[in-house]
């Protein structure tokens, strides 16, 4: 069960090319801010199509092709729009939890031939330092009890389940690769066990 504490701080409309979402802002106990994109009624007890997406400035906002983050976020928004109901929990844990500047340093190590895991480790970080307790707390605050989770990451499924999120289905969430992220995707599969 999640011990994280979040405060629902703001709600507003967010019109997008996919649908008009409700954008719900949260703060956690450390003061860090996170958001959820919500479409339709999600607190009625029925399983909700959902994604837990970790912030990726380079992929989500700057259209980097080094990763698949931006396309995954867009695909999740489109799938939820198509279904007319769902939640995207957007966590502020850049670079697999190491922060933006360290992520850029890891990119520089990858430019020398290291993969994403080796780059994080040579900088003294875990391969993946992300945590999902805030996501579990945000789902609870939104009244979401059961999710159909869009992910390829079995560790995310396991972590959320351990935190009390009832994952009733894993929804495959693959996107088109690019010449720039082939090695990155192969590393996710080989070293993180992602299911593609």
- pLDDT of 188: 47
What is the percent of the chain where pLDDT is above 70? 87
**pLDDT 10s digits, 75-104:** 999 999 999 999 999 999 987 788 899 999
Is the pLDDT at 174 greater than 60? The verdict is yes
Is the pLDDT at 12 greater than 70? The verdict is yes
Instruction: Report whether 51 belongs to an annotated binding site.
Output: yes
**pLDDT 10s digits, 139-155:** 999 999 999 999 988 88
Is 111 tagged catalytic? no
Catalytic residue among 130, 133, 145, 148: 130
Is 128 tagged catalytic? yes
- pLDDT of 193: 55
Contact (CB, 8 A) for 98 and 123: yes
User: Could you tell me which residues are beta bridge partners of residue 49?
Assistant: 148
- DSSP summary character for residue 109: H
Our measurement of the distance from residue 84's CA atom to the centroid of its chain's CA atoms, rounded to an integer in Å, reads 20
Paired tokens of 30: 């450390």
Q: Apex CA 151: angle with CA 23 and CA 8, to 5°?
A: 25
Instruction: Report whether 151 belongs to an annotated binding site.
Output: yes
Contact (CB, 8 A) for 133 and 162: no
Instruction: Report whether 155 belongs to an annotated binding site.
Output: no
**pLDDT 10s digits, 34-44:** 999 999 999 99
Catalytic residue among 60, 115, 128, 133: 128
Mean pLDDT of 51-78: 93
Q: Which domains does the chain carry?
A: 6-93+130-192 (3.40.50.10990)
Instruction: Report whether 55 belongs to an annotated binding site.
Output: yes
């Amino acid at each position: 069960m999640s011990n994280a504490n979040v405060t629902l701080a703001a709600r507003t409309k967010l019109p997008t090319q996919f649908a008009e979402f409700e954008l719900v802002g949260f703060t956690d106990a450390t003061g860090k801010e996170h958001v959820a994109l919500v479409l339709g009624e999600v607190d009625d007890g029925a399983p909700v199509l959902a994604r837990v997406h970790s912030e990726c400035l380079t992929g989500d906002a700057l259209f980097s092709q080094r990763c698949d983050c931006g396309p995954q976020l867009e695909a999740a928004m489109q799938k939820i729009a198509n279904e007319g109901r769902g939640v995207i929990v957007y966590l502020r844990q850049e670079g697999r939890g190491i922060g933006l500047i360290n992520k850029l340093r890891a990119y520089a190590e990858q430019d020398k031939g290291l993969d994403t895991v080796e780059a994080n480790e040579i900088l003294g970080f875990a391969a993946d330092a992300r945590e999902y307790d805030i996501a579990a707390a945000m789902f609870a605050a939104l009244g979401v009890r059961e999710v159909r989770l869009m992910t390829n990451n079995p560790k995310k499924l396991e972590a959320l389940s351990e935190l009390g999120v009832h994952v009733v289905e894993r929804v495959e969430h693959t996107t088109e690769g690019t010449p720039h992220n082939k090695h990155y995707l192969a590393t996710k599969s080989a070293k993180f066990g992602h299911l593609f």
